[in-house]
Structure 1
């Protein structure tokens, strides 16, 4: 079943082995090429298309300059970025892969350095900027206090997502995913750990999910009816559900409730991850450790789900899909290690996965 096609709305994706978004921190950090994908991104994403991935989601792509995680992140807020992405989507499509894009705003975790340079906050002298968030609560010690977004600024963020989705469509993407996970802006609003507001965007569940739903509605309103919208969520902050941690945060129960709201607003698949919204969290890592969260959403809501997290072996991935725990698996680091993982999996599972003609007929 891992190599059965799946149809969401009018879009058929050729298999259930998908590439998860993974930041490359490799765009220009200033000048007219800021946030523009270039040869590295084409080579990186193109190799996984040639390798047989059915759907490729770009790394978190910022909807505004201040929405980048680092100064070296990709963005989609201007024409130059849009044109550069079109080159990539053409290549992916030519090799049988569905091109998808993850749209994001980093919120209070913005303005940080590349991981291989330490990854900590960068100030104005290092090309950084003032992060924003639902509340003036820094992510961790040493991080700047984010500016609390006003209601007018929240409306601007919602519009930024819609405008980026319009650009994504013109650039040739067929799937758009709203990034609501890993402690970035939308996830910060979802969680009581980071959202201390007392207005309509804070407090009870229905207020904390308001930004997520407004963004989804704005994106869905500009995205074609025949094409799917995904949403990535951190199913838990690993706080409330950890008896050894006194902090409170977003829970798996709330994820199920959110999934129902997203489903009613036109979201076609929940991309289910965990964590990222609090430092020093104990996460019980193990093979497929996040799969049960995806399975629960699928069982309790009927919503299609993608599973991600330490999925490394073909038979493991096949079992996740065949047993109904998820509709697709999203591979991250395993696809970095082996761009041809889908072809290897097809061989091990005695399934069919087409190779490019250039490889089949090479002499």
Structure 2
């Protein structure tokens, strides 16, 4: 397997359409800028979708699940068997993202990259098993190079399926006990910052639990200090689902599909992807500011403004799905409002 595809150029946003969309917004029956981020979202989507009438009617959500060897260090408030159990819950419609996807009329794909508690064959789950979990990155690299290449390719495959379905927006989600630990480790390495600035409560750790988590992260970062490229940092400290998200984001930008990024873990994947491919950044929209401790720092690193701030920290792509109605409204306002001339309203 090769990762040469990672270097293929990303699609270019249409600057002329962005300018035209901005000009159109200035002619609508409202004071300029009075709809705030709703205007900016419509303009960005017009540029990315290369159309004067942007839309996010067809939404594709891929939730990638994978377990983490670092769970052996006692960094989660939940047992590792929950990952496999939640894969089944996603597939049978009982999880938050399942409810949200149904409400949005979105396509929901569940991808199992490897869980300690394997739920087996489930008709609506894509099995892309790499291993029951990553290795404990306190003892060695989380993944082999082959495993990393496979996980990246799994994410890219999801985007190809989304594109074939006519998706206008791609959302990536994740599930994996201990994955906030993996994300904090990766973010710390990418930003060259101490883990205390990025590690949070995850599934609900108390203050002592967070302190233990930071200690675990410090051990891991010391062990992998020689990993100096984003790809090696992802291999040594990431997870299967985080790598799949990185692959999906790069493939989406290459394919010309806008991405709506969810919370802390998916934003860590976005940071890794942008560090590898800076031309990816224009394709990312950011759904919400998670309550997870390090998320605000990641958003600043990406110069990103989130659509929502609701205190969410569930993951699964739930925050991104929650923001979709606002993107749809932004498009509806852009496409449906009358101009001053059409409405016969005087301008200043």
TM-score normalised according to structure 2 size: 0.41
Q: Which has the higher strand share?
A: 1
Q: Which has the higher helix share?
A: 2
Q: Which has the higher contact order (CA 8 A, sep 6+)?
A: 2
